[in-house]
Amino acid sequence: MFKYLIEYFDYRTLLPVFALLIIGIASVYSATYDARVPEIFYRQLSFAVVGLAAMMVVAFLPLRALQSLAYPAYFFSIILLVAVLLIGRTVSGSTSWFSLGAFRLQPAELAKIATALALAKYLSRSDVSLRQTKSLLMASGIALAPVALVMLQPDAGTAIIYLGMFLPVLYWGGTSRFVLIAIMAPGIVALAALFGTTPFLLAVLVLGIMMYLARENRIATAVVFSLTVLVGISVQFMYNGLKPYQQKRIDTFLNPGADPLGAGYNIVQSKVAIGSGGLLGKGFLKGTQTQLNFIPEQWTDFIFCVPGEEFGLVGAALVLGLLAAILTRGIMVAGSVKTTFGSFLAMAITATIATHVFINIGMSLGLLPVIGVPLPFLSYGGSALVANLIMVGLLMNLHAHRKEY
C-alpha cells in the first residue's frame, strides 16, 4: 500500500494545493473579520470541503472514462452557458450566475474544465495536426465557442482565461510560430496603442520583424500584418464604443492615480496594503488596510493583499512559491504522461491556472487592469474554488495513469 501511494498518489501536487487552501481560508477569515460578513468565511469553508471531495473522486476515475466524457461534458457546458444568458442572475452588470438558494453557480468556471477536456480529446486524434488549417480551425472553434457566450454575459475577465488556456495548448501541439504570433499580435498592438503612438509603432516594428523571421507565406504574412496594424489604429474607435465603466477600467489601468478616490481606488489601496506589509508583515488580523475595509469585498479579486499585508514579503513569496510549485508540477505531468490526451489535458489545466495567477497578481500590483479574475485557491467563490480543485484532481489522475498508453 505504501509503495502504491509513493508511486501513484501525486502528493507533490496535493501538498502545495492544501497549503494554499489553508492560507486562502485564513485570508478570507481575516478579510471578513471586521466586515461583519461571517457567512462568507463559512461558505468558503464549505466550498473547500466540497471541492476536496470532488478532487478526490476525479483523481481516482479511470482515464478512459474521463476521455469518453469529454465531448458530452463540453456540450452540456455550452447548454449551461446559453441557459445562464436566458434565466441567469445579473450581478454587477454581468449575467453569469444561476441562483441556488443561498449559493450561486457560475457555469463559465465549470465550462473551463469541459473545454480543456474537449480540446485534449480532439487534439489527441491521430488524424489531427495543428499544422493543418482544418484542424486549427476546429480547435479554435472548440476554444472560442465558450468565449463568445461568456462575452455576451458580459464577462471579459473569464473570457480571457479561455484564450490563456488555448495559446499554450497550441504551442504544446506544435503549431507554427507564425500562427502563435498572428493570434497574439492584435492584442499586443492594441495594448501598446493605449499607451500612445510611440509604443504602438515599436510594437508594430517588433511584430513585423518576428513575422518575417517566422518565414511563413508572404501573402499570409502581409494579410496578418495589415490586420494587426488596422487593429492598432482602430483602438481609439473601439475605446469610444465601450461602456463607461469599461473605459474607466482602462483609464485606471493606464493611470491609477488620476482618480484615487474613484475608479483607481481599489488598485491604489491594494498597492498600499501589499507595500505596507514590509518584510514580515503586520501579523494575522492586524493589517490596517484589511481590517479597516479600505478595499471593498477584499476577499474576492484582491485577496492577495491579505497575506501581503499581514505576512509581508515572506507571506507573499510563500503564496507565489506554492502557486509556482503547482504550475511546475503541471508541466512535469504534461511531459511525463504517455497518452496524447493526457498530455494536452495537463497543459490546458496548467495554462488555465497560470493565466488566473498572472492576471490576478498583476491586478493586485497595478500592472494589469482590474477585470475580475480570482486568485486560484485563495479568492472567495464556490464555483471557482470547486473548479480549480477538480482541475487539480485531473492532474493527480494523469500522474497516476502516466505510464498508460
Domain ranges of the chain: 2-400
**What letter does residue 381 receive in the DSSP assignment?**
-
In the prediction, which pLDDT does 264 show?
64
Q: In terms of C-beta density within 10 A (0-12 exposed, 13-18 middle, 19 or more buried), how is residue 251 classed? A: middle
**What local confidence, expressed as pLDDT, does residue 257 receive?**
57
Q: Report the run of H or E that residue 89 belongs to, with start and end.
A: strand 89-91
Give the span between the Cα atoms of 93 and 225, in whole angstroms: 36
Q: Compute the distance between CA of residue 389 and CA of residue 142 in angstroms, rounded to an integer.
A: 23
**Cβ atoms < 10 Å from Cβ of 24:** 24
Bridge-based pairing state of the strands 103-105 and 89-91? unpaired
> What ranges in 153-304 are assigned the alpha helix state H?
156-172, 177-194, 197-213, 218-233, 235-240, 244-254, 265-276, 288-291
Backbone angles phi, psi at 151, to 5 degrees: -65, -25
Task: Determine the pLDDT at residue 213.
Answer: 79
Q: What is the full per-residue pLDDT of the chain (405 aa) written as tens digits?
A: 555 566 667 888 999 999 999 999 999 998 888 777 788 899 999 999 999 999 999 999 998 899 999 999 999 999 999 999 988 887 767 788 888 776 788 999 999 999 999 999 999 998 888 888 899 899 999 999 999 999 888 788 888 899 899 999 999 988 888 888 888 888 888 878 877 788 888 888 888 888 877 766 777 788 888 888 888 888 777 777 777 766 776 766 666 655 555 556 777 788 888 888 888 888 888 877 777 677 777 888 889 989 998 999 999 999 999 999 999 999 999 999 999 999 999 999 999 999 999 999 998 888 887 788 899 999 998 889 999 999 999 999 999 888 777
- Judge whether 77 and 47 are in contact, CB under 8 Å: no
Question: How far apart are the C-alpha atoms of 23 and 20, rounded to whole Å?
Answer: 5
Which pLDDT does position 254 carry in this prediction?
65
b/e string for 86-123 if b means 16 or more Cβ within 10 A? eebeeeeebbbbbeeeeebbbbbbbbbbbbbbbbbbbb
pLDDT at 402: 84
Cell of 50: 466540497
Spatial contact of 327 and 350, defined as CB atoms under 8 Å apart: yes
Taking a C-beta distance cutoff of 8 angstroms, is the pair 236, 215 a contact?
A: no
Q: How does DSSP classify residue 132?
A: S
